[in-house]
Amino acid sequence: MSRTKRICVIGGSAAGPKAAAKAKRLDYNAEVILLQKDPDLSMASCGYPYYVGGYFDDRNLLIGTTQGTIRDPRYFLNSKGVDARTSTEVTAINREHKGLSFRNLITGEQGELAYDKLIIATGATPRMPPVPGTDLTGITTLQSMQDADYLRRIRDDRNIREAVVIGGGLIGIETCEALQRADIDITVVELLPQLLTFLDWEMAKLVETYVKTQSANVITGNGIAEFMGSEGRLTGIKLQNGTELPCELAVVAIGVQPNVELARQAGLAIGETGGIRVDAFMQTSDPHIYAAGDCVETYNMITGTQVLAPLGDLANLQGRVAGENAATDNSVTFPGTIQTGICKIFEYNAGSTGLSEAKARSLGYEDIVTTISASPDKPGFMGGLLLVTKVVADRQSGKILGAQCIGPGDVSKQIAQWAMALRAGHTVEDLINCDLPYAPPFSLAIDHFVAAIHVMQNKIKGRMDGISSLEVKAKLSGGESPFIVDVRGPDEYKEMRLGIGEVLIPSDTLRYRFGELPGDKNREIICYCVTSLRAYEAALVIRAEGWKNVRVLEGGIMAWPYDREK
Ligand SMILES: Cc1cc2nc3c(=O)[nH]c(=O)nc-3n(C[C@H](O)[C@H](O)[C@H](O)COP(=O)(O)OP(=O)(O)OC[C@H]3O[C@@H](n4cnc5c(N)ncnc54)[C@H](O)[C@@H]3O)c2cc1C
| Cα 57 from Cα 46, distance rounded (Å) | 15
| Cα 167 from Cα 50, distance rounded (Å) | 18
Assess whether pLDDT exceeds 90 at residue 2: no
pLDDT of residue 232: 97
pLDDT of residue 357: 98
Q: Is the dihedral of CA 434, 438, 440, 443 positive or negative?
A: negative
pLDDT of residue 327: 98
Tell me which of 9, 13, 352 to substitute to probe ligand 1's pocket, judged by most ligand atoms within 8 Å of the beta carbon.
13
Tell me which of 45, 141, 196 to substitute to probe ligand 1's pocket, judged by most ligand atoms within 8 Å of the beta carbon.
45
| Cα 243 from Cα 164, distance rounded (Å) | 13
Convert the pLDDT of each residue in 352-373 to its tens digit: 999 999 999 999 998 999 999 9
The band of 4, judged by pLDDT with boundaries at 50, 70 and 90, is confident
Rounded to an integer, the average pLDDT of 491-505 is 97
Nearest CA owner, ligand 1 atom 20: 312
The band of 1, judged by pLDDT with boundaries at 50, 70 and 90, is low
Tell me which of 9, 33, 35, 37 to substitute to probe ligand 1's pocket, judged by most ligand atoms within 8 Å of the beta carbon.
37
CA–centroid distance, 487 to ligand 1, in Å, is 50
Residue 147 CA: distances (Å) to CA of 135, 153, 488, 549? 15, 10, 50, 57
Tell me the residue length of the chain: 566
The closest of 206, 240, 235 to 372, measured between CA atoms, is 206
pLDDT of residue 163: 98
Nearest CA owner, ligand 1 atom 26: 293
| Cα 279 from Cα 297, distance rounded (Å) | 10
The band of 15, judged by pLDDT with boundaries at 50, 70 and 90, is very high
Q: Is the dihedral of CA 60, 65, 69, 75 positive or negative?
A: negative
The band of 3, judged by pLDDT with boundaries at 50, 70 and 90, is confident
pLDDT of residue 498: 97
CB burial of 201-212 (b: ≥16 within 10 Å; e: otherwise) equals bbbbbbbbebbe
| Cα 385 from Cα 442, distance rounded (Å) | 11
| Cα 404 from Cα 399, distance rounded (Å) | 15
Edge-to-edge strands, sheet with 6-10? 82-85, 31-35, 6-10, 117-120, 289-291
* Cβ contacts of 508 within 8 Å, gap of 6 or more: 489
| Residue 230: other Cβ atoms inside 10 A | 9
What does the DSSP assignment read for 56-89?
---GGGGSB-TTS-B-SHHHIIIII-EEEESSEE
The closest of 356, 352, 360, 455 to 404, measured between CA atoms, is 352
Nearest CA owner, ligand 1 atom 49: 13
| Cα 122 from Cα 315, distance rounded (Å) | 11
pLDDT of residue 380: 97
Contact call for residues 530 and 558 (beta carbons, < 8 A): yes
Nearest CA owner, ligand 1 atom 37: 122
The band of 215, judged by pLDDT with boundaries at 50, 70 and 90, is confident
Residue 482 CA: distances (Å) to CA of 81, 477, 551, 564? 70, 12, 10, 18
CA–centroid distance, 375 to ligand 1, in Å, is 36
Convert the pLDDT of each residue in 322-349 to its tens digit: 999 999 999 999 999 999 999 999 999 9
| Cα 52 from Cα 149, distance rounded (Å) | 8
DSSP state of 273: T
DSSP state of 277: P
**Given the CA of residue 40, which atom of ligand 1 is nearest to it?**
49
CA–centroid distance, 41 to ligand 1, in Å, is 11
Tell me which of 22, 46, 85, 151 to substitute to probe ligand 1's pocket, judged by most ligand atoms within 8 Å of the beta carbon.
46
Q: How open is the CA angle 276-279-285, to the nearest 5 degrees?
A: 60
CA–centroid distance, 44 to ligand 1, in Å, is 9
What mean pLDDT value characterizes the chain?
A: 97
For ligand 1, residues with CB inside 6 Å are: 10-16, 35-38, 45-46, 48-49, 89-90, 121-124, 142-143, 171, 259, 262, 293-294, 310-313, 315
Convert the pLDDT of each residue in 112-161 to its tens digit: 999 999 999 999 999 999 999 999 999 999 999 999 999 999 999 999 99
| Cα 215 from Cα 562, distance rounded (Å) | 19
Rounded to an integer, the average pLDDT of 68-93 is 98
Q: What is the pTM of this model?
A: 0.96
CA–centroid distance, 244 to ligand 1, in Å, is 33
**Given the CA of residue 47, which atom of ligand 1 is nearest to it?**
3
Rounded to an integer, the average pLDDT of 447-460 is 97
Rounded to an integer, the average pLDDT of 380-388 is 98
Tell me, what amino acid is at 452?
Answer: A
Contact call for residues 186 and 52 (beta carbons, < 8 A): no
